[in-house]
Structure 1
Amino acid sequence: MHLPNGERRLPQRVDLTEGAAHQVIAAVQLDGMKYQELSELTGIPVATLRARMYYGLKSLRVALTGDPEVGDGLRSGGSCRR
């Protein structure tokens, strides 16, 4: 979410993810950036960005539920934005 002064404020739970994953989640899920755009901007391969998203979302699911078995939730109805 963007504040009036242009600063971005992330929902509190997204802050539970680690640095690299946090940045990918923010750019792709919150700002609507495509993986290819982010790759061109950062010089990080798309596959690496996708892996960071996967593990970041997995970590976030565990943090939200407190259940480490929920971490693989993408197989059971989660979604992955391309």
Structure 2
Amino acid sequence: MADTFHTQVIAILPKLRVQALALTRNRAAAEDLVQDAVCNALSARESFVPGTNFGAWMHRILRNRFISDLRKQRNVTDIEDVPASLLSTKSDHEDRLAVKDLAFALARLPEDQREALVLVVLQGMSYQELAELTGCAVGTAKSRVFRARRQLEAWMVGDLPADDKLRQRAVALRDEANRRTSLARAGVSNGSGAALG
């Protein structure tokens, strides 16, 4: 049984990483969360019933570990805590800007909606599996995904209030990226012969 258990743990690691990243919004924290969840699973492997849904069992362990860690910290990060590297724009390509906008919008979704969207859309989890994992009704799971999709769509087409901090930040970053690109294309220098950038 131990070999089968370890094989299943290894096989589910990529999906756990996606879920952890959706929950933590930080790559290093996500890796730590996955590692802690795997340690919890290994120490509790005797409680797993062979033949049941191993993926749902592991996702629940990861989610419970995340909630436990949040309770210990007693502070939830917000958009102001996103590292500057995620907010900077290295290129004026539309696809990169769209990905940045999507990352901002995903970070703003309520945790339960963000998690539901990632598990269903990116990982292909069924609504039934999501409901079992999160301990809610199937209708609630569907509703969370629907609301998350609808909110993301609204944000992605620019349906943000003018005083929204996210919008202000995204506009400032986009303006700065466009300014630098324009200067680089025009060959403007900073007086020492080196192009601005």
TM-score by length of 2: 0.29
Counterpart pick for 1:7 among 2, 17, 21: 17
Partner residue, 1:66: 158
Higher relative contact order (CA 8 A, sep 6+): 1
Give the whole-Å Cα distance in 1 for the aligned partners of 2:17 and 2:129: 21
Q: Provide the residue aligned with 1:46 in structure 2.
A: 138
Question: Match for 1:22 among 111, 114, 133?
Answer: 114
Report the alpha carbon displacement of residue 17 of structure 1 after superposing the two structures with TM.
2.0
Please give the secondary structure, in 2, of the residue aligned with 1:54. Answer: helix
Give the % identical residues: 30
Structure 2: which 5+ residue stretches go unaligned? Answer: 1-13, 23-101, 161-197
Q: Aligned pair count? A: 65
- The list of structure 1 runs, each at least 4 consecutive aligned residues, that deviate by more than 6 angstroms after superposition, is none
Q: Distance in 2 between matches of 1:62 and 1:50?
A: 18
**TM-score between both structures, scaled by the size of structure 1:** 0.64
By percentage of residues, which structure has more helix? 2
